[in-house]
Structure 1
Amino acid sequence: MTVKIGISPISWQNDDLPDLTAAYTMEQALSEAREIGYTGVERGRRMPSDTEGLGRYLTANGLFLCGGWCSGNLLTNDVKTEIEAVRQQVKQFAALKAPCIVYAECSNTVQGNIAVPVNNRPKFSAADVRAYGAKLSELAKWMADQG
């Protein structure tokens, strides 16, 4: 069995504090990822955002789309609203045959905001976890049904 391994460009570039790695180009990150032996990368902020352009860009760099970050707001959105918010990204990933999406809850996030201590992050009760889990399962089923 052949194993394909992908990596996120965030290993080279900091998306939360972009000034830290502003001089490090995406092309350099992709070149180094390929040289190390990775066959795929996650979608990065400094890549083309349209499906056709992203596909061409990755092909030109000898890599495939292995997935990517999806900033979600399911904590504050209902499932129908969240589906509409992520629909284009899910469609793009399916078109480019990405095997996964990295769905991350970002409602009320404190990441990237150095003025807010991490211990001021949102906190869930047991009931909140159950309710959120039900919504997340419904969203995940919809995503899986999209391919």
Structure 2
Amino acid sequence: MSRKILFRGKLISDSDNHKKNQWVYGSYFKDRNNISYIYNKKENYFYIVDAETVSQYIGKKYNGDIARFVSMYEGDIVFDTDEYYGVLKYNENKHQYFIYYGRISEATDNVNFIIVGNIWDNPELVEKSS
């Protein structure tokens, strides 16, 4: 089974299919002018996105309902069963995704949580994770 490589990013302007600041999903790349794009294969469209908002898909998490799985991305904000907020980030040294609670971190496999937002759309929740 191969790992799915997928990214998301926020549009920097309106397009034919989407409005500015809307999330788009697909393959990510930068051109030689350092412009960031998300290519959506299904729509066969290249979207120019804000590079600061680009985040990678890290998997799916069971979300309490047997039929409901939620896609997780770097920068997502989670709320765990101990009632703490944290941010999903990649740890370069351990080559693994972790939930960061300020300076403390925990592997995602060790924590039950729900996704409640992300660092771009919900900055007020970022403060709660510190």
- Which range, TM-score by smaller chain? under 0.3
Query: So what's the TM-score if we normalise by structure 2?
Result: 0.25
- Structure with the greater relative contact order (CA < 8 A, sep ≥ 6): 1 or 2? 1
> Comparing both structures, which one devotes a greater share of its residues to helix?
1
Query: So what's the TM-score if we normalise by structure 1?
Result: 0.23
> Comparing both structures, which one devotes a greater share of its residues to strand?
2
Find the structure with the greater CA-based Rg. Answer: 1
